[in-house]
């Protein structure tokens, strides 16, 4: 079995701590450990994001591609799915699953339909 990257060790250790506290009959300690895990996962998720436009776009052109920048602040590659909601006056083609390199960025262009 492949070992997860070290950045996930605190999550694994926290899960073990929470399970151990439940097993020992210490629900308050289990709740505390679960809260720490939740905060850690929230922080990790925030390191993978869709950032704002890096350059101005021509909003008047119906055919102009919509630039999207995905940023990964984790030391491991991430696979993400981008879902753009249809907005009145703007519909875009579907974007499939994308791979963002470790500590990297990926520039996408979604073409309006």
pLDDT, position 1 = 67
Burial environment of residue 94 by CB neighbours within 10 A (0 to 12, 13 to 18, 19 or more)? exposed
Cβ neighbour number for residue 72 with a 10 Å cutoff: 20
pLDDT in tens, 54-106: 556 555 566 667 788 899 999 999 999 888 777 777 777 778 899 999 999 99
| pLDDT at site 8 | 82
């Amino acid at each position: 079995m492949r070992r997860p990257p070290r950045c996930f060790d605190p999550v694994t250790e926290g899960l073990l701590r929470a399970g151990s506290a439940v097993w020992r009959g210490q629900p308050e300690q289990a709740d505390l450990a679960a809260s720490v895990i939740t905060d850690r996962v929230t922080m990790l998720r925030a390191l993978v994001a869709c950032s704002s436009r890096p350059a101005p776009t021509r909003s008047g052109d119906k055919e102009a591609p919509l630039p999207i920048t995905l940023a990964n602040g984790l030391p491991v590659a991430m696979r993400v799915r981008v879902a753009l909601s249809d907005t009145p006056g703007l519909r875009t083609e579907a974007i499939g699953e994308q791979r963002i390199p470790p500590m990297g960025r990926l520039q996408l262009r979604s073409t309006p339909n």
